[in-house]
Every structure is written in C-alpha cells, then in structure tokens.
Amino acid sequence: MNAESATLEQATGSSDGLGTVSANASAAQPDAATARYHLDVTRGMLKSCPLDERVVTLPVEVLRRVVAMAMQGGDLTVLRVAGKMLADAARAGLEGRDTQVHALPATVVFAQARQALAYAGWGSLDVERWGNALVVLLRQAPGLDTEQLGIAALLGGLFSTLALRDVACVPMDEHRFLCIDPSLAEAAWNWSKTGRSLYSVLSELESVMPE
C-alpha cells in the first residue's frame, strides 16, 4: 500500500437463524469473506473488487433526504433502481454456472443476493418461509424513513430482478418485509399499518396467495 493507492477490506460477517436461508449457504465463486475496495487517491476513485465498479460513498443522512424528496413526489423508483443494480451484481457473481440463474437452487441465489447487499452496506439479509409466503429479513439496514418504505422499494427492485417478475416488498415490522404480488401490496400494507401481526395479515391473504 502507498499514499496514492490502497486496498481496503471489511469483514461481512454471518448469522444463522432457525427457518432462514443461512449466510453460509453455498454462493457462487468467488465467495469472498470480506468486502474489498481499491482506492486510487490521485484520481479520487473508489472501486469495488472483484466487480471493478466505481463506488461513491454517501452519508446515510444524504440518502434520507433523497428518500424524503422521492416520497414527496410519490415515486421511490430511485430506490427500486438501486435494488435492481444490486441484483445485477448478484447475478454477475453467478455467471459461469452450468445452468441459468432462474434454474439455480433458491439458497444459492439468496446467498449471492445476501452478499451483494452486505457488500454495498445495506445490512444483513435472511429469508423465511411462512407457508406459501416469502418473508425477507433485513437487519442492520440504514434507517431511511420511519415507515421503511425506502428499504421496501430497494428490496422490491432486488427481488423483482432476481425473480424476473414484478414483486413488492411490504414492511411488516422493523426487520421483516413480505414479498407479494404488487396487486396485493396495498391491502397488506394497510393491514400492517393498523398494527396487525404478520400472521394475521397472511391469514387474510391465504385465499389469494399463489401456491
């Protein structure tokens, strides 16, 4: 390392939980245990490795203001685009497999998505199955707004891109987001806002949830 160039490493860590897809699930190579960045001081550039993508770090307060302005306009597309870009990074990490991404085991795809989110500083991702429903857990995420709509939009973009179909991620509590067809998202969100539990919301949706 010298004054003009440096490689930075940050451990991503791991967490396991009952009923979740573990961080230790098999992911595509290279399955880095640390997030790595290359800083070129003379050019003022920070790049992620091994994707070699330019990164611009922003304080969470700046992101909060972006989300606040987006919510005032009623359009959180900017966060969905960010989620799509994270999904693209995850898919890039799966390149070289003998099968297409959509044919890979869900645990492999989720593990790669988890790594992409952690790599970009968005928190620690896990998923749970509640009957036919998929519930996303995101811990240590930056607080962008009180109702978690910014993070919901980010996750919606991520999972829509990975699933190759439009998906809404509806905030259920501080960490949990229900992955659901967008046509059912408003009803699920309204029930959640009244204080109903995730179990209660899923019971209401059971008759219309896809198999």
- The whole-angstrom separation of Cα 141 and Cα 155 is 11
- The whole-angstrom separation of Cα 24 and Cα 170 is 26
Helix, strand or coil, per DSSP, at residue 14: coil
What pLDDT was estimated at residue 6?
58
What pLDDT was estimated at residue 136?
95
Helix, strand or coil, per DSSP, at residue 109: helix
* 45 contacts 54 by C-beta, under 8 angstroms: yes
Torsion (CA) 83, 205, 187, 130 in degrees, nearest 10: -40
Residues 6+ apart with CB under 8 A from 185: 168, 170
Please give the domain boundaries of the chain with CATH numbers for all domains. 59-205 (3.30.1380)
Please give the sequence-ordered ranges of beta strands (E in DSSP) within the chain, or none if there are none: 5-11, 34-40, 45-49, 53-55, 124-130, 133-139, 168-171, 176-180
Point out the residues of the chain with pLDDT beneath 70.
1-35, 49-51, 96-102, 208-211
Residues 6+ apart with CB under 8 A from 55: 37, 46, 47, 48
- The whole-angstrom separation of Cα 83 and Cα 156 is 7
* 41 contacts 6 by C-beta, under 8 angstroms: yes
